[in-house]
Amino acid sequence: MRYVYIIFLFFGSLVSTVSSAQTPVKGGSFADISFIEGHWKAIAEDGRAIEAVWLGPDGDNMLGFMRMMNNHKADLYEILSYEQTEQGLVSLVKHFKPGLLGQEEKDNPNRYLFVESTKDRAIFQNPTGDLQILYEKRSPTRFAIARANKDGDKWVFNDLFVFDRVK
């Protein structure tokens, strides 16, 4: 009987792992993304300089912002809010052109729901389920944000930004 119980637990954990990788779950915490806290810089593939700061969690939220520069001129600003909600951890993103001209509708930020995390990785997914965003710690002084689209039945991630910690 003991062996049946152990086998049941093993297969039960596999089923929950597979299903959570496919759809957002009501979960996630600031501990899952704590490695992004701090001051970071990156150079995008197109040569834009990116500077980002993520504040530590306070209450039910964590806040970040980015400044993207092209030839020493502001090109785009991004505000990122991570909120602990009844739906679990949610990432909300708004983009602004210079002059704080909003790129999204006033009350309609890009929304990403927490899907899963492992050590030094967290994945969020948009509500339509066709886009995922990965936050991944690559070393104590480096992390990446990658974007994935579905290719058949698997997700293919491509780095958007690879950040180095500012000393």
For 6, 8, 11, 92, the CA distances from 63, given in Å and listed in that order, are: 42, 41, 38, 10
DSSP notation for 67-95: EEEETTEEEEEEEEEEEEETTEEEEEEEE
Average pLDDT, the chain: 87
Comparing 14 with 165, which gets the higher pLDDT?
165
Task: Answer yes or no: are the C-beta atoms of 30 and 57 closer than 8 Å.
Answer: yes
pLDDT of residue 25: 58
pLDDT of residue 84: 95
Of the candidates 103, 102, 64, the residue with the CA atom closest to the CA atom of residue 80: 64
pLDDT of residue 106: 86
Burial group, residue 67, by CB count within 10 angstroms (0-12, 13-18, 19+): middle
Provide CATH code, domain 29-165.
2.40.128.20
Convert the pLDDT of each residue in 34-88 to its tens digit. Answer: 999 999 999 998 999 999 999 999 999 999 999 999 999 999 999 999 999 998 9
In the chain, what are the domain boundaries? 29-165
Convert the pLDDT of each residue in 116-136 to its tens digit. Answer: 999 999 999 999 999 999 999
pLDDT of residue 57: 94
Task: Answer yes or no: are the C-beta atoms of 143 and 110 closer than 8 Å.
Answer: no
For 6, 35, 74, 145, the CA distances from 159, given in Å and listed in that order, are: 40, 17, 22, 6
Task: Answer yes or no: are the C-beta atoms of 13 and 7 closer than 8 Å.
Answer: no
